[in-house]
Chains A and B, each alone.
Chain A
């Protein structure tokens, strides 16, 4: 499939002109809530082509970044158990918990492995029944169906040495929490493309209807992002607040119902602790009683130390868009992608890492 048209400078220029022409006559703050959008905006220099009345903010869209210390500490505690092979997506490795990281645990001889898919973790379990293979599941609605599918497959194949530590979160209610936060100022949301591939547009409707905040579901190429921003500013100019889809090739209005059914079968909503935001009711996914054999938190008796926050790190404020990455005292000094202190610098999709890598932060955006 040829995506080059979505990187076409001609189309991008047309959209930039269209955005400029839709000036609503006031300052507007537009927040994206997806790590892949964070990177796309930074990498394609989109902040630099915005008119001065638009501020693009990054919100809590990086699943690794919003994972609370307690959850990272729990994953580390599982890795320290005998006969356990802990598997995870690569982004989680270097994230500091209160006292250690998975990367450090691996260095000290624990069996911690990076996998591309939860199915790879399942294959490891099948191959070596003497090991307890645990998959650390961190992610949003995009990834949740995969975890559900892996658990269902384990059950079907009778694989009993596989379990999941689930720190999954769901996005829409977190956006509601941001809109309700008096410290956060957001006029509109660029909504996450692949989260929406699963959930569709309905779960965001309350943002427009109850709070009069527009949202447009966006793809990830420069033209996709510019199209979404243009649709947002058109709404703001007209005083409308609607949920729209700019990424029609990847998102059906109703999402993927089959994938959602699988998620509902395996998981139930639970309260979740978000770094920087706190506990948001019913935004976590807990493994249902029926599948508790695959729940690492019930399978293992874990002793989790009291969590400790990272001194000086403003990740929590960065995740709410009230502090820009370079406004943190540690940014680029004590905290760099080579020696990250907070999760937003560790994950390649964290706002701090994206700013550090792609922005001339010394001069830019000091508005």
Chain B
């Protein structure tokens, strides 16, 4: 008996960019156990000798804890702060920078839920620096000087297991606006590996403001390069994916970042053929700079057993900010369908973003501030990891409230005079995104991956927010199909196709869903539409072959499979299905050669394997 293989080949296109984090925020821990000193800006002249602030006793500990990780040779800061002479040479600048909280760079306001590696100076410490300068920058007793922090040069975690270096360096011009550049790193591994840490060395750290790694499992970004290895520009990038495989880490680098080592069971999977995309924000320095980043990978033998997910709140659709508008509010609210632990948070807006807040309202009504940034600054955006996982039960409402300033008073306004600004990917557009890394807890493993329920609820939420959005419907459909809710999936694909009647991916997906539901007759028209829009669309060609075969039009099916082979000659499934269609037409020798070809490409191709045996018997019996 001959039969055809399953036909759904392209069903999920992720609309989100999948961001990955392994990195923690700051390089240093909290200052612990140091008594807060009573201090006042105007007490200097009255200070008794005992209250004299000295570098060695009072200032060096602050500097070593909070500044030196970056302010040393080879790191991101423009000058070193390693000793008395270094600090004295920048003393007033340090007073200004700490009083305005420009330094150390730490955007969140203090809150009850603590972040790991918080890099925020206490008011008392800031006052101490001020008093030291006012008192004449006294060096003090050498015996009081704490040892310099032991900081590693080069790779922070030691020699990586695998180092990838960008194919081509980028030359950053001496002036002009900030540059957003993406480097593609193919990962030369032959089998699946598990990554416990990634260290990003973005080239000369002084010119790289921050960098993200995105995992591209299907090499979909390469098509954006002008030539292989060249990289490509763009501030916001999207990775397309055909399978439900929620990348669950936020891989982020900013100056001072120490690579974060994932706990056992939380490793990042890398397969053969995976590309890592390094998305960088570069700032001109006044002279041409050559940037050639490297990535160091640290492997673990332990596969992931705990699978977190990135959950996105957003509302770019609400972003339509009139010129001059000083306080434009955008919101989003999403209710969790499952119990989770919140591990990390990553807010993102562009240059109009001002006040950024997220909070959780628990089922019992208590409210927790997840993050509050009163003075947003894109240049210092970061991923913030909670010191302890935050338990959020099912039914918790997650809320985002971002406020934007599109007035002349916002110095970072990209338009002068202010102009209408809408949501978009360019740096002059605006964004309203919040990523939450969550780990499902208290679930029944027998019911499958709990992240699917979360993903479906998110997709449904997006459709409610944006009922006229093609991708919202498309992604919900794909999610429903992944959860075997085929009829509901078809309904959503139909809504998507109604919004974009000529869209190749939408028509192909709808056609494929009909094939999967064994309604081949209804599939044909949509697949033909997909091919009219994109005649070289392999998936649609293959699916059309299956749809025709499903209606017993084996000649038509064979024709489509042959056309599909012209597009992808090395596809075992097409070879096998072509063999099956030819066998149905009685063309047994040709069928046999296609089965054999399929098994050459993939010795385990099940249709070819099963059919070839049956075919031999049938040919022998004649």
Q: Do A and B come from one complex?
A: no
- Residues of chain B touching chain A, judged by Cβ–Cβ distance below 8 Å, are none
- Residues of chain A touching chain B, judged by Cβ–Cβ distance below 8 Å, are none
